[in-house]
Amino acid sequence: MSTPTAKFGERYFATRKKLSGVVNGVRELARTTDCALNGFSDDSELLQGLKNPFLFVVCGEVNAGKSTLINGLFGSDLCESNVLPETDRVLWYRYDDSEHDEEITEILEERYRPIDFLNDFNIVDTPGTNSVVKGHEVITERFMPVADLVLFVFPVNNPWGAATWDFIERFPDELHGRVAFVLQQKDLREPKELEIIMEHVRDIAQKKLGEKPDVFAVSGRQALRSKQREPFEERAWRESGYPALEDFISKVVTESPGRRQVLQDVRDATSSALRRIETKIESQSGVVKKKDAVLRELEASANEKRDEFGNLFEAKLEGLGEVFADEAEGAIADLRGRLGVLSSVRALFQRDELPREIEALLTESVATAVEELADVEAEEMERVCRKHWKNAVPRMKKELTEKIPAIDGGVVDFARARQNFVKRLGRGARQAAMRLKLRGVLEMQLESRRAVLRRWLVLVLVLTAVAGGLGAFSLHPWSWIVMALAVGAGLFGVVQSFRSGRELIQWFRTRAAGSGRNFASDLGKDYLEGVKEFFVKYEALFDEVRGEIFASETELRPQLEQWNDLFLELKALEQEL
C-alpha cells in the first residue's frame, strides 16, 4: 500500500529513470564513438514519449469536489475549491520553475507551478459537466484520447447527475480501461449506505461503458488535512479512503499498456542503437588492430636489419682479431727497440716500466683502430636505417597516419648515436685488451731475462775483480788469463742478451696472435650491444606512431567497458519490463 510520502507508480518511475540513464549513456557513447543515431535527439518523438508526464483528467459536475480530490491526492493546495465554480475554463496544471498562467484559448488555461509532482503528473481540472457545454469538445478532442486516467467525481449525496452520465455515455471507446469513479464527501454517509451507493454507481457505469469500473468513496478534505499536518495523521488518512484510491492510481501508472509500450519501444530502440555502436567500436577496434599489425611488421623489418649486422658478426670477429694483430706488431717494434744491450743493462739497476708502457701503447693503438672501424660500421648502420625509413614512410602514410615524424631534427640524433657507438667500442677495446693480461706475463718474461743477464754480469764483474787483484800482485800471466775470461764472459752475455731479446719478441708475437681471437670475442659483446642500442634509437621514430595507436586503444578501452555496462543494464531492464 502506498504512503502519503510515496510517489504514485514508484516502480514504473524507477524503471523509467533507469532506462533514461541508459539512453543518456548510449547517446554519450554514440557521441564519443562518432556513431550517428537516428531518433535519439532531445526533441525526438521517442524520447519525448519517455519524458511525457502522466495525464490525469478529472471530470464531474459543479461542486462535486474535483479540486478537493486533486489537492488531497498530492497533499497540496494546487486547485482552488469554492462553492461557486472558479471558472468555466479547463485548467491544465503543468510544471515550470516559475509560477505563471497562460491562456491558450477562451476555454483552456495552462497553469504552471514549481511543484515537483507536476514533473511526472499533469492534472486537467475540468469545469462542471453541467456548466459549460462547449468545454466538452476540448476535453474530447485534446485530453480524452491521450489521458492516462480519467476520474469522474460525484458528490456522495447525489451521484445521479444526468450531465455527467450523459457525458460518460458519449465516449465509451476513449475511456475503456482508463476510468475510475470517485464518490466525494464519504463522511456524509454511513458505511452501509456507501456500499449501496457504490454498487449502484458500478451498475450504471457498466450500462454506460460496458464494464464495471473501480469505484472509491473518499473524503478529500480529510486526506488533505492529514497530509499537511505535522506529524502526519495516518489514521485520518486511512479513514479518508485515499489509500485504496492511491494504490489504484499506482497500479494504473505501473501497468499502463501505453506507457509500458513506450518503455518497450525505447528499450528496443536503445538496444538497436547499442548494436550499431558495437559495430562501430568493433570497426574502430579492427582499424586499430590493423594499424598495430602494420606497425609491428615495420618494426620487425627494422629488427631484421639489425639482425643482419649480428649475422655478419663472425666475419667481423676476424676483422677485429686482425686489427689486434696489426696493432700488436707496432707494439713489438717498440719492444724491440727497448730490448737493446744498454737498455737491458740499465733495466738491471732501475725499475723497468717497459711492460706498462707496452700495454698502454698496445691498448691505445688497438682502441684507436677499433674506433675507426666502428665509425665505418656506424655510418653503414645509419645508411641502412635511413633507407628503411624512406621505404616505410609511404606505407605509414597510407595505412597508419599522416603525422609522420621527421627522421632529421626529431627524436633520432644519428650523430650522437654514431658517437656513442664509437665510444662504446673504443672503451670496450681498451677493456678487452687489458683483460688479456699481457702486462703481467710480459713482466714475468722480462724478469726471467733480467735474472739470466744479471748472473752473467756478476760473473764478468767477479772475473774482472780477480784479474785486477792478480795484476796488483804482479801475478802475470794469470791476471791476463782471468781478464780474457772476463771479456769472454762479457761478450757471451751480450750475445745472450741479443738472443733472449729475439726470443722474447717472438714469444710476444705468438702471445699476441693467440690473444687476437679472445680479444675479438670479448669485444664482440660490446659490438652487438652497440648495434642493438643504435637501432633502438632509430626505432624511437616508430614510438611516436605507436603512441597514436596506443591513444586510440586507450580511448576504445573505456568505450568497450561503457558499452558492456550499458548492455548489462539494458538486459536487467528487459527483465523488469
468-507 tens-digit pLDDT:
887 787 777 887 887 888 788 777 767 776 777 677 777 7
Q: Are 102 and 112 in contact (CB under 8 A)?
A: yes
Amino acid 5: pLDDT: 44
Distance, in Å, from the CA atom of 198 to the CA atom of 180, rounded to the nearest integer, reads 12
Q: Which residue has the cell 480501461?
A: 177
Distance CA 510, CA 505 (A): 9
DSSP tag of 154 = E
Q: How far apart are CA 238 and CA 223, in angstroms?
A: 8
pLDDT of residue 6: 47
CA distance 358 to 362: 6
Of 119-123, 299-303, 347-351, which gets the smallest average pLDDT?
Answer: 347-351
Q: How far apart are CA 521 and CA 321, in angstroms?
A: 9
Check: CB of residue 140 under 8 Å from CB of residue 71: no
Q: Which residues of 305-319 are buried (b: 16+ CB within 10 A; e: fewer)?
A: bbeebeeeeeebbee
542-566: pLDDT as tens digits: 888 888 888 888 888 898 899 999 9
The C-alpha cell 702471445 sits at: 511
| Mean pLDDT in residue range 135-149 | 71
Q: Does residue 39 carry a pLDDT above 90?
A: no
- Name every residue whose Cβ is closer than 8 Å to that of residue 555 and which is 6 or more positions away in sequence: 32
Q: Which residue has the higher pLDDT, 28 or 491?
A: 28
Grid-cell match 536487467, residue found: 572
Question: What superfamily does domain 55-255 belong to in CATH?
Answer: P-loop containing nucleotide triphosphate hydrolases (3.40.50.300)
Q: For residues 288 and 297, what is the distance between their CA atoms, to the nearest angstrom? A: 14
| Mean pLDDT of all residues in 327-344 | 66
- Say how far apart CA 471 and CA 473 lie, in whole Å: 5
The closest of 100, 90, 54, 93 to 70, measured between CA atoms, is 93
The torsion region of residue 177 among left (phi > 0), alpha (psi -120 to 50) and beta comes to: left
User: Measured on CA atoms in the order 364, 370, 376, 382, is the torsion positive or negative?
Assistant: negative
Phi, psi of 449 (to 5 degrees): -65, -45
Confidence of residue 1 (pLDDT cuts 50, 70, 90): very low
Q: For residue 439, give the amino acid letter.
A: R
Q: In this structure, are residues 425 and 371 in contact, taking their beta carbons and an 8 Å threshold?
A: yes
- Cis amide leading into 231 (omega within 30): yes
Give CA separation, 377 vs 238, 301, 527, 528, in Å: 98, 19, 10, 12
Main-chain dihedrals φ then ψ at residue 241, nearest 5 degrees: 85, 0
Give the C-alpha separation, 247 to 3, whole Å.
9
Taking residue 532's Cβ as centre, other Cβ atoms within 10 Å add up to: 15
- Other CB atoms within a 10 A radius of the CB of residue 298 amount to 23
Counting Cβ atoms within 10 Å, is residue 551 exposed (0-12), middle (13-18) or buried (19+)? exposed
- In angstroms, rounded to a whole number, what is the distance separating the alpha carbons of residues 467 and 451? 24
* 245 touches 222 (CB < 8 A): no
Confidence (pTM):
0.63
Task: Please report the pLDDT score of residue 3 as a whole number.
Answer: 47
Whether pLDDT at 112 is above 90 = yes
Strands (E) across 38-170 are located at 54-60, 90-95, 100-105, 108-113, 121-125, 149-155
* Cβ 510 vs Cβ 441: under 8 Å: no
Q: Which of 58-67, 122-131, 480-489, 498-507 has the lowest mean pLDDT?
A: 498-507
Specify the pLDDT at position 460.
Answer: 73
Amino acid letter, residue 67? S
Q: Are 59 and 126 in contact (CB under 8 A)?
A: yes
- What is the residue-averaged pLDDT of the chain? 81
CA atoms within 13 A on the CB side of 453: 25
Question: Could you give the CA distance from residue 178 to residue 46 in angstroms, rounded to a whole number?
Answer: 23
Residue range 389-403, pLDDT digits in tens: 989 889 888 888 778
User: Out of 226-240, 340-354, 397-411, which region has the weakest mean confidence (pLDDT)?
Assistant: 340-354
Nearest partner of 57 among 24, 91, 25, judged by Cα: 91
Q: What single-letter amino acid sits at 419?
A: Q
Ranges of each domain in the chain? 55-255, 278-576
Which residue in 83, 150, 90, 80 sits closest to 125, CA to CA? 90
